[in-house]
A and B are shown apart, each in its own frame.
Chain A
């Protein structure tokens, strides 16, 4: 064994409930159902799979394949909440239970296995506990192998225990896709390597040289080693961050908000020392001195967004959980403890190109600002349809989208529907957040009116914004009547738009509605 290999993988037991988001939504698995995020399937029930629904399919396509499909919203908080009883049940076996994703959790078998009489007995006991906790609502698979990656693959059918040392042989026949790194898998497959065994046979140094850090990690996994060499010492306790909550917090949203700024502080603190957190302990203490804690594994290294999400899901699991496990009082202290660290390698550009370094910095800065100003104060644009100057592109909170990913909705070609009556380009560079009343007068000093048939009473001569002095109109065009939602009595809107250029060279977009004039945008 060379120095690079570090230690062998930690013997790990993984409990996995397949199709967990469907189960968590309360739909029986023999009913065709699918969970959607951003219009694509993220999970589906076996019944839906039989009808041809697969992960990644568009909503319309999946409904075409399976018309009776139950459509469910993606809600990781709900998934975590529903999984909490399983986690609580498994804590009878070990205090060091760690959640990977809602629906999958793992623990090291070293201690418990000896106590409960071997890996086989332990695995069977874990499965029984999980099934009892779920009252047989879900399928539970348990796998034991060297390292969490192999154990997760082993947890595919009832109870599977891979003998110590047999993990590389067990992994070898799996297809390369099991690595769950699409770009890497794509390149490796084009190089002619189709199974984990073939990939594992490459020399480790060459993989590192060609595919960078991430490629080297994947290679370690394929060889049945731990993703990272074991940390030789536990992180020093002063790296933990905590906040006391006074008054005690009972609502998830409030606590999650605090969690978000804590996550930012933690990541900043670790970055300053060149670390990222790969396993996080979330601790909450209540007024009645109850102490709740849960370990989370953060596979890709915790960014503030990832950590904040885990904290929110976990708080949701605790505070909105079933009455049996709910704490009896509000939370008075929230603490994030980095349980395992890895060197922050930065995101080196891989062989296939990839995300620019700026994204990471940007995401961290935005998380910080969200903590400072609130989640709605930081927004990113998205193309929507619309006729008005501010309707074509609208802002969505930055926390609601994944900025490190490609965002097709921010590209101009995203919306293709025609919007008759839309303003022609160029668009105004300043759009009034809410319309400001203006006075538009003709030569005789009377307000200009527009008839129902679109006739203008007289050419506008002056325009006065708010209480400002009237400005001479040099050129004008209009009216462009807009009749929106004529089928809906309550929401119907009829107005007419004008473009007006005043003597100072400023062009404005004004709107007349029911005899009153409003400034809606400025071409500045």
Chain B
């Protein structure tokens, strides 16, 4: 009887373990990214991270576009010159985008904190980098609330992931003819902790017709030899 009782308690134990399993799985802690950006974010955007983007508005939009398309709300603050048509072309759902004008410097922290509380992703641009303590407080708030904060331009704290464009080349435009069609860029990513390993990706941003696409490695060039 003893072994029977053990088997029964084992079964009970297993049931308890199944019930006590964490409800939030690891993959719920990430937001999706667009397919071409998988080389930069192999497991998606980890909630609570701060991402620094050096200069390129379209890259910042592309980073949040995947999450936006999957139903997340995105806010921008201080990006008074946002090209909304470009945002839509890159895959940001305009029905879930909110644009907040640049707040006076006194209420800066409050505004960003309020946005971080409610939105899944917030794109932030400041004219002058905030004080280090303020920046840290905001990144801590974002981490606690599980929001992704994308910082465009100056920031006084090291972001978790920083992206920069190493090379850019425009296609489709010539000397007085054609028009801008697509830009081939090399994005370099570095950062802290999980993102410490440097990555880079070759992207079309924007691709022809707007949007993002991965640059396919050239098919092997077959050599033709004259017989």
Report which A residues bind B (CB closer than 8 A): 356, 358-359, 361-362, 364-366, 368-369, 372-373, 376-383, 389-390, 392-395, 398, 406-407, 410-412, 424-433, 456, 459, 475-478, 499, 501, 505, 507, 521, 523-524
Contacts and interface: CB of A to CB of B under 8 A. Distances in A.
A410 B96 CA distance: 9
Given A365-B117, A410-B94, A433-B80, A373 B100 contact: yes
B114 A523 contact: no
B99 to A, nearest CB: 5
B103 A362 contact: no
Interface in B170-206: 170, 173-183, 206
Given A429-B61, A459-B176, A393 B182 contact: no
A394 B175 CA distance: 33
B92 to A, nearest CB: 9
Nearest to A366: B98
Interface of A is mostly: mixed
Interface stretch (B51-59, B154-162, B215-223): B51-59
Nearest to A500: B173
Given A362-B73, A431-B81, A505-B167, 6 more contacts: A361-B117, A378-B99, A381-B97, A425-B209, A426-B182, A427-B85
B180 A507 contact: yes
Nearest to A508: B180
A431 B168 CA distance: 20
Interface in B81-126: 81-90, 93-95, 97-101, 103, 107, 110-111, 114-115, 117-120
B36 interface: no
B56 to A, nearest CB: 5
A393 B84 contact: yes
Given A365-B115, A380-B98, A477-B174, A430 B182 contact: no
B169 interface: yes
Interface of B: 55-58, 61, 71-73, 80-90, 93-95, 97-101, 103, 107, 110-111, 114-115, 117-120, 167-170, 173-183, 206-211
Chain B contact residues: over half helix, strand or loop, or mixed? mixed
Contact of A430 (B83, B94, B98, B181): B83
Contacts of A432: 81
Contacts of A428: 83, 86
Nearest to B207: A426
Identify the 4 closest CB pairs spanning chains A and B, nearest first.
A365-B118, A426-B206, A393-B84, A410-B95
B183 A430 contact: no
B61 to A, nearest CB: 6
Contacts of A476: 173, 175-176
Contact of B99 (A381, A459, A505): A381
A358 B114 contact: no
Residue of B90, B167, B170 with highest tally of chain A CB at under 10 A: B170
A477 B81 contact: no
Contact of A426 (B89, B110, B118, B175): B89
A491 to B, nearest CB: 23
Nearest to A506: B168
A257 to B, nearest CB: 16
A431 B114 contact: no
B118 A389 contact: no
Given A426-B180, A429-B61, A477-B173, A505 B168 contact: yes
B210 A426 contact: yes
